[in-house]
Amino acid sequence: LELGFMWTGNKSESRPLFLLCKEVLSNESLKPAHLQHHHETEHGKYVSKPTQFSENKLKELKETKGSDNAKAVEASYQMTQLIIWTGNPHTIGEELVLLAAKEMVSAMLGDEAGKQIGLILSNNTVRRRIDKMAQNVKEQLTEKVWKSHFYSLQIDETTDIANRSNFLSVVRYQYSGEVQEDCLFCKFLSPCPTGEAIFDVLSHFTREHDINWSKCVGITIDGARAITGQYTGVVTQVKAVAPLTTFIRCSIHREVLAAKMPDDQRMVLDKSVKIVNFIKARPLNSRLFAALCDKMDSDHSQLLHTEIHWLSRGKFLSHLLQLRDEVRIFFAHHFELTKLAYLANIFSYRNGLNLSVQRKAVTIFHVHDKKIDAMIKNFDLWIAQLDQSNYDSFPNLSYF
């Protein structure tokens, strides 16, 4: 410190770091004569400074380093959040984001500024950041549920894109004078989940996070046998630990919103699905259809896939209707366009209803009084309009 230096690196190959200019010299420069020469030639005006001056500089360097490390960790978490939101693989942080950040900073602020970006965004680091953020969010949520005077659950078994069975639970609870809604957990289940297995997952989570069953005022369920079974169903086992809990059948299931379709409309829908599948399932047909659309200067060149629930096919039918001329030429035969136009409109309305009842803070009163009853009244209005050949409520159909 008398010469204004400290050592850095490991003990077997230490190198001197000058406290004033932050320059790191070679290992051979550790000789006192070399250090003295650098001190006098590069920073001569500080030669007469006491040792306390060097100690203060060392303290400032450590504080700056600690501050830089804290900022680097914060920036690493922020970049991890962006990677999560965009749905990209974790490796993009190290392979693209970090390199791009250094290039941009170097180009705009200089090479020295670019070298100061010392983030660690490796695949393992991003994964650890995600795990820590997820754990923090879970702890905050379970603490809010634990403090709430009451809570209710919605439970359902679902299948992901890998065909694995998942048990999903959504919780509503009281916090800051408001009723809030969050996803409580999503756990993997065995290939053939039973009511006991599903309840074990739910019970284990409540015990692990000290969530009191006596505060559970209601659970919304579907009609699956594992849920409603008389002896081993989830309902039966929950009543054993929380006898005051009420159970409500989910009122926004798609089958509740759907009415039986007339045979002629069902035929048009099935034919539409077959047409799109014929084009989409074969790469050659897809390329030929795209080339045809390009030749006709169409706004679209691809059809939407049909592997979705039938009530959610409003966009698929509307897209097919927009490409009706191209499809007609591609197949070289007439197609029931008026029925297709009607189906595109009616499915779009139903799809909109389906989405509107799945928002946060939607209760059974909103679903029945404001949504479904309003849609039923719309149906009555539309029937009366169609009887008078008024197609204003069906823009696709009115085109024909």
Provide the domain limits for residue 139.
75-147
On whether both 118 and 167 belong to a single domain, the answer is no
DSSP string, 16-39: EEETTT--B--GGGGSHHHHHHHH
pLDDT tens for residues 283-332?
665 665 566 566 555 555 555 444 445 555 666 667 667 666 666 665 54
Alpha helices in 209-262 (DSSP H): 225-228, 234-241, 254-257
Helix (H, G, I), strand (E, B) or coil at 122: coil
Residues 81 and 143 in one domain: yes
Number of domains, the chain:
3
Q: What is the pLDDT of residue 307?
A: 45
CATH of the domain at 228: 3.30.420.10
pLDDT reported for residue 173:
92
56 lies in some domain: no
pLDDT at position 300 is 53
Residues 15-39 have pLDDT tens digits of: 666 555 555 555 555 566 666 666 6
Q: How confident is the model at residue 6 (pLDDT cuts 50, 70, 90)?
A: low
Say what the pLDDT of residue 372 is: 79
Tell me which of 147, 164, 187 is where a domain ends: 147
2 is a domain residue: no
169: in domain? yes
What pTM did the predictor assign? 0.53
User: Is 367 in the same domain as 267?
Assistant: yes
Let me know whether 179 and 218 are in one domain: yes
Section 156-160 average pLDDT: 79
Q: Does pLDDT of 251 surpass 70?
A: no
Residues 211 and 330 in one domain: no
Q: Are residues 268 and 393 in the same domain?
A: yes
Q: Which of 356, 360, 371, 372 is nearest to 170 (CA)?
A: 360
Average pLDDT taken over every residue of the chain: 73
Residue type, 146: W
Q: Which of 228, 250, 272 is the last residue of a domain?
A: 250
332 and 290, same structural domain?
yes
For a pLDDT cut of 70, what percent of the chain falls above it?
Answer: 56
Residues 296 and 388 in one domain: yes
Q: Answer yes or no: do 113 and 212 share one domain.
A: no
Do 110 and 201 lie in one domain? The reply is no
- Residue 144: pLDDT band (50, 70, 90) is very high
Judged against a pLDDT cut of 80, whether residue 78 lies above it is answered with yes
Q: Is 143 domain-assigned?
A: yes
Same domain, 286 and 379: yes
Please give the sequence-ordered ranges of beta strands (E in DSSP) within 45-164, or none if there are none.
Answer: 151-159
| Whether residues 138 and 163 fall in one domain | no
